[in-house]
């Protein structure tokens, strides 16, 4: 039935490489990236209702950073540990997708 | 003479309701490239076999201006008929009547025909073409869906349930097809999703078309929600007819057997599989070389293509085939492949269809995405399904059978009745390279030329362990066979398994790793 020969690629399973075709789903799979604790990402898409901090602020663990409204719930995003706000990438009113880098943190230099 | 008058009145009344939403709505339906609900039923069933019930059912909603609305048949056609002479129950939602929306009476017509199918032990086919719940009827519409889902569950494993998606099927409506055994979709016509593009855009700001979100191809290739994919409604109906001819019509029956035929495969079975375990081939050619008339109805052809499942006949009897497909992803087991095979095995077991497993796989797919997607729990479904199945279970190891995958692919240890292996089969705890690296790690590291030593050790391992004879010496394999003997042995094994009587401990039900 097949007239043209498919283009097989090398595919490693453990220590051996096999010639095979890849599925679309496999090709489109997401590469895993080790998340940085200094990146505050959205875990759900939604709208930024308020931002409580400014760039340069030193914020204590547990203090509110912003409110992300999603699925009719106002989610309070809190500081994961005491650190300085390096950059804020969102503003009030914007709608953001999932896994948006909302706030970047940096470690306090001393102490 | 009054009887004659009454008959004429009946005919008139029927003709009006049978028009569904009327000429304009029908025109619109046809313009969308879709057949009408009635034409679909007539095209699918044997000529003149369809008989309709509940044609005059009317809705009882009084709010939101519904009191004055007449909805022909409340938007759904239900009845009985035959396919290839076999009785079936069928319903088809009529999109021309208020968008095929589901109200309580619409749902009650469906549940009535479903109850009938279950009592009479005949397959139930549902043709879905509906905008969703009839919002005017509020929670009564939700009640209707729930009553359908309940019956889908009660019928599961007793009678075959087939869903045909020939239009939109959105929101809660999708769960009835999801609970049924086989879902058919047609390119450009089927649309299935929980939340549609509008909601997704409003809530999340993501723009996507209906087709890209939940079109036929998406469900056939990406999600696995659809089992059969067709380019036209007529092709879809042919697929349904073929499926109906292959499956038993209840769990107390056997599939209709037909005159046995020899395979007409052009390729010699010995020439299909390359000896080099790293080279791919299409395992469907092996199936074609084994089945009667070389016929095979593949299920889930596009989804999880690294495993092949479907029905073929051996000696005239329907058999379920499960085969690793080295042509895709080297035939590895992964989340989707395990899911796909496990549910098929459950189906075969529920409906007394023997299972033939053709094995050639290098193991499980490595990767963070797989581990995080739960390959442990998905992979376990296969172990569960094979272990639980009491139908005749036969495995033929064609080439590679490594590690956990060897156990999963209906091994002796999970209760296989017959285990055959071709002489080139490699049954081992892992691939020779991997095994040699671990076992001879010290020798390899201490050697002057590591690569040469590794090659030597790999070769030693291949000679000693990458063959079927170690497993055969332990009785894990019943016979090492020549490829050309395969069909004959399968026929024999099935013949002697005819009266198989296997029981499981009494229980309400097991707790499979869903």
- Could you read off the pLDDT of B429-441 as tens digits, one per residue? 888 888 888 999 9
Reference B325, options B288, B280, B381, B290; nearest CA is B280
Q: A18 lies in a domain?
A: no
Distance CA B494, CA B489 (A): 8
Q: A33 lies in a domain?
A: no
Asked whether residue B414 falls in the same domain as residue B353, the answer is yes
- Could you read off the pLDDT of B303-317 as tens digits, one per residue? 999 999 999 999 999
Asked whether residue B225 falls in the same domain as residue B102, the answer is yes
Between A14 and B477, residue with greater pLDDT: B477
Question: Which DSSP category does B67 fall into?
Answer: T
Asked whether residue B193 falls in the same domain as residue B283, the answer is no
Q: A12 lies in a domain?
A: no
Residue B493 burial (10 A CB sphere; 0-12, 13-18, 19+): buried
Q: B510 lies in a domain?
A: no
Tokens 């085939």 belong to residue: B321
Q: A59 lies in a domain?
A: yes
Distance CA B313, CA B264 (A): 13
Tokens 């590469």 belong to residue: A31
For chains A and B, CB pairs below 8 A equal 80
Q: A93 lies in a domain?
A: yes
The chain B residue lying nearest A28, using CA atoms, is B222
CB-based contact A90:A102 (threshold 8 Å)? yes
Look at residue B131 and give its three-state secondary structure: coil
Q: Does A87 touch chain B (CB under 8 A)?
A: no
Distance CA A76, CA A66 (A): 6
Q: Is it the case that residue B270 has pLDDT exceeding 60?
A: yes
So what's the pLDDT on residue A1? 46
Put simply, whether the predicted model's pTM sits higher than 0.90 gets the answer yes
CB-based contact B40:B90 (threshold 8 Å)? no
Reference B318, options B376, B209, B242, B428; nearest CA is B242
Asked whether residue B132 falls in the same domain as residue B36, the answer is yes
In our burial notation (b when 16+ CB lie closer than 10 A, e otherwise), range B211-239 reads eebbbbbbbbbbebbbbbbbeebeebbeb
Asked whether residue B146 falls in the same domain as residue B207, the answer is yes
- Could you read off the pLDDT of B222-259 as tens digits, one per residue? 999 999 999 999 999 999 999 999 999 999 999 999 99
| Domain count for chain A | 1
- Could you read off the pLDDT of B73-130 as tens digits, one per residue? 999 999 999 999 999 999 999 999 999 999 999 999 999 999 999 999 999 999 999 9
**Helices B139-155 and B104-120 meet at what angle, rounded to 10?**
10
Distance CA B209, CA B201 (A): 10
Asked whether residue B25 falls in the same domain as residue B124, the answer is yes
| Contact call for A14 and B362, based on CB within 8 A | yes
Q: B436 lies in a domain?
A: yes
Q: Does A33 touch chain B (CB under 8 A)?
A: no
Q: Does A14 touch chain B (CB under 8 A)?
A: yes
Distance CA B96, CA B19 (A): 9
Maximum pairwise Cα distance, chain B: 110
Domain ranges, residue B287: 269-430+467-496
Q: How do the residues of chain B divide into helix, strand and coil, expressed in percent and rounded to 5?
A: 45, 20, 35
Kind of pairing between the strands at B228-230 and B296-299:
unpaired
CATH number at residue A67: 2.40.50.100
Distance CA B112, CA B77 (A): 12
Q: B66 lies in a domain?
A: yes
Q: Is it the case that residue B386 has pLDDT exceeding 50?
A: yes
Asked whether residue B320 falls in the same domain as residue B210, the answer is no
So what's the pLDDT on residue B46? 97
Give, in degrees to the nearest 5, the angle at Cα B274 between B273 and B279: 115
Asked whether residue B282 falls in the same domain as residue B222, the answer is no
Distance CA B234, CA B243 (A): 14
Asked whether residue B33 falls in the same domain as residue B165, the answer is yes
In our burial notation (b when 16+ CB lie closer than 10 A, e otherwise), range B326-357 reads bbbbbbbbbbbbbbbbbbbbbbbbbbbbbbbb
- Per-residue pLDDT, averaged over B484-502, amounts to 96
Most A CBs within 10 A among B283, B325, B329, hence the mutation to make, goes to: B329
Q: A101 lies in a domain?
A: yes
CB-based contact B303:B339 (threshold 8 Å)? no
Q: B508 lies in a domain?
A: no
Q: A11 lies in a domain?
A: no
Query: What is the ipTM, given to two decimal places?
Result: 0.81
| Contact call for B362 and A6, based on CB within 8 A | no
Asked whether residue B93 falls in the same domain as residue B240, the answer is yes
Q: B254 lies in a domain?
A: no
Q: Per-residue confidence of chain A (111 residues) as pLDDT tens digits?
A: 445 678 899 998 877 889 999 998 898 888 888 889 999 999 888 899 999 999 999 999 999 999 999 888 899 999 999 999 999 999 999 988 888 999 999 998 765
Chain A residues touching residue B363 (CB < 8 angstroms): 13-14
B273: confidence class by pLDDT, cuts 50, 70, 90: very high
Reference B468, options B460, B478, B459; nearest CA is B478
| B473 bridge partner residues | none
Percentage of residues in chain B with pLDDT exceeding 90?
84
- Could you read off the pLDDT of B168-206 as tens digits, one per residue? 999 889 999 999 999 999 999 999 999 889 888 887 778
Asked whether residue B7 falls in the same domain as residue B109, the answer is yes
B268: confidence class by pLDDT, cuts 50, 70, 90: confident
So what's the pLDDT on residue B282? 96
CB-based contact B490:B479 (threshold 8 Å)? no
Chain A residues touching residue B332 (CB < 8 angstroms): 13
Reference B167, options B301, B37, B71; nearest CA is B37
| B353 bridge partner residues | none
Reference B462, options B432, B496, B422; nearest CA is B432
Distance CA A44, CA B429 (A): 42
Distance CA B59, CA B472 (A): 67
Rg (chain B; Cα; Å) = 26
So what's the pLDDT on residue A3? 56
Residue where one domain finishes, among candidates B246, B277, B302: B246
- Choose among A20, A24, A45: nearest Cβ to B326: A20
Q: B83 lies in a domain?
A: yes
Q: B260 lies in a domain?
A: no
| Contact call for B205 and A14, based on CB within 8 A | no
Q: Does B309 touch chain A (CB under 8 A)?
A: no
Residue B63 burial (10 A CB sphere; 0-12, 13-18, 19+): exposed
Between A29 and B164, residue with greater pLDDT: B164
Which conformational region is residue B254 in: left (phi greater than 0), alpha (psi within -120 to 50 degrees), or beta? beta
Across chain B, mean pLDDT equals: 94
B514: confidence class by pLDDT, cuts 50, 70, 90: confident
Q: Give whole-number Cα distances, B113 to A82, B107, B141, in Å.
A: 64, 10, 18
- Could you read off the pLDDT of B333-352 as tens digits, one per residue? 999 999 999 999 999 999 99
CATH number at residue B485: 3.90.226.10
Q: A25 lies in a domain?
A: no
Domain ranges, residue A89: 39-106
Kind and range of the H or E run holding B136 = none
So what's the pLDDT on residue A110? 62
Reference B354, options B391, B299, B408; nearest CA is B391
| Contact call for B368 and A32, based on CB within 8 A | yes
Residue where one domain finishes, among candidates B213, B246, B279: B246
Distance CA B33, CA B11 (A): 30
B399: confidence class by pLDDT, cuts 50, 70, 90: very high
Between B70 and B383, residue with greater pLDDT: B383
| Domain count for chain B | 3
């Amino acid at each position: 039935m097949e007239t043209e020969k498919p283009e097989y690629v090398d595919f490693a399973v453990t220590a051996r490489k096999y010639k095979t075709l890849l599925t679309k789903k496999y090709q489109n799979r997401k590469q895993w990236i080790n998340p940085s604790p200094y990146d505050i990402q959205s875990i759900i898409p939604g709208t930024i209702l308020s931002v409580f901090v400014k760039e340069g602020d030193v914020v204590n663990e547990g203090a509110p950073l912003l409110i992300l409204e999603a699925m009719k719930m106002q989610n309070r995003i809190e500081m994961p540990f005491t650190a300085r706000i390096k950059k804020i990438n969102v503003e009030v009113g914007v709608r953001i997708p999932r896994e948006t880098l909302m706030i970047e943190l940096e470690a306090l230099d001393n102490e | 003479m009054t009887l004659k008058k009454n008959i004429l009145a009946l005919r008139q009344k029927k003709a009006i309701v049978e028009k569904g939403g009327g000429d304009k709505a029908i025109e619109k339906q046809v313009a969308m490239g879709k057949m009408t609900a009635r034409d679909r039923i007539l095209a699918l069933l044997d000529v003149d076999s369809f008989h309709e019930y509940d044609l005059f059912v009317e809705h009882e909603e009084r709010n939101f201006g519904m009191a004055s609305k007449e909805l022909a048949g409340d938007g759904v056609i239900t009845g009985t008929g035959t396919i290839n002479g076999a009785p079936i129950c069928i319903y088809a939602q009529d999109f021309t009547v208020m968008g095929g929306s589901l109200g309580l009476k619409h749902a009650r017509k469906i549940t009535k025909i479903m109850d009938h199918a279950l009592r009479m032990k005949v397959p139930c086919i549902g043709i879905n073409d509906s905008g969703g719940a009839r919002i005017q009827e509020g929670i009564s519409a939700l009640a209707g869906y729930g009553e359908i889902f309940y019956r889908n569950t009660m019928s599961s494993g007793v009678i075959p349930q087939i869903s045909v998606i020939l239009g939109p099927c959105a929101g809660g409506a999708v769960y009835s097809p999801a609970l049924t055994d086989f879902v058919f979709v047609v390119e450009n016509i089927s649309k299935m999703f929980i939340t549609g593009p509008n909601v997704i855009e409003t809530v999340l700001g993501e723009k996507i078309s209906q087709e890209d979100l939940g079109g036929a191809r998406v469900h056939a290739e990406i999600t696995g929600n659809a089992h059969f994919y067709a380019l036209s409604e007529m092709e879809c109906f042919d697929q349904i007819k073929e499926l109906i001819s292959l499956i038993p019509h209840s769990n107390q029956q056997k599939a209709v057997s037909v005159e046995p035929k020899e395979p007409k495969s052009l390729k010699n079975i010995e020439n299909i599989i390359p000896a080099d375990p790293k080279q791919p081939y299409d395992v469907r050619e092996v199936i074609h070389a084994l089945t009667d008339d070389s016929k095979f109805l593949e299920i889930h052809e596009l989804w999880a293509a690294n495993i092949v499942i479907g029905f073929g006949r051996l000696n005239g009897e329907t058999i379920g085939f499960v085969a690793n497909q080295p042509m895709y992803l080297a035939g590895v087991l992964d989340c989707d492949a395990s899911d796909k095979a496990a549910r098929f095995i459950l189906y075969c077991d529920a409906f007394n269809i023997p299972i033939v497993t053709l094995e050639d796989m290098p193991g499980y797919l490595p990767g963070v995405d797989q581990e995080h997607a739960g390959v442990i729990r998905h992979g376990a479904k296969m172990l569960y399904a094979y272990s639980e199945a009491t139908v005749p279970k036969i495995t033929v190891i064609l080439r590679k059978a490594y590690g956990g995958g060897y156990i999963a692919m209906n091994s002796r240890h999970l209760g296989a009745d017959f285990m055959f292996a071709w002489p080139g089969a490699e049954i081992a705890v892992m691939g020779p390279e991997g095994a040699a690296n671990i076992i001879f790690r010290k020798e390899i590291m201490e050697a002057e030329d590591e690569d040469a030593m590794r090659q030597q050790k790999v070769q030693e391992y291949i000679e000693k362990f990458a063959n079927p004879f170690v497993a055969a010496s332990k009785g894990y394999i019943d016979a090492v066979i020549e490829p050309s003997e395969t069909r004959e042995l399968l026929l024999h094994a099935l013949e002697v398994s005819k009266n198989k009587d296997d029981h499981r401990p009494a229980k309400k039900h097991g707790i499979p790793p869903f």
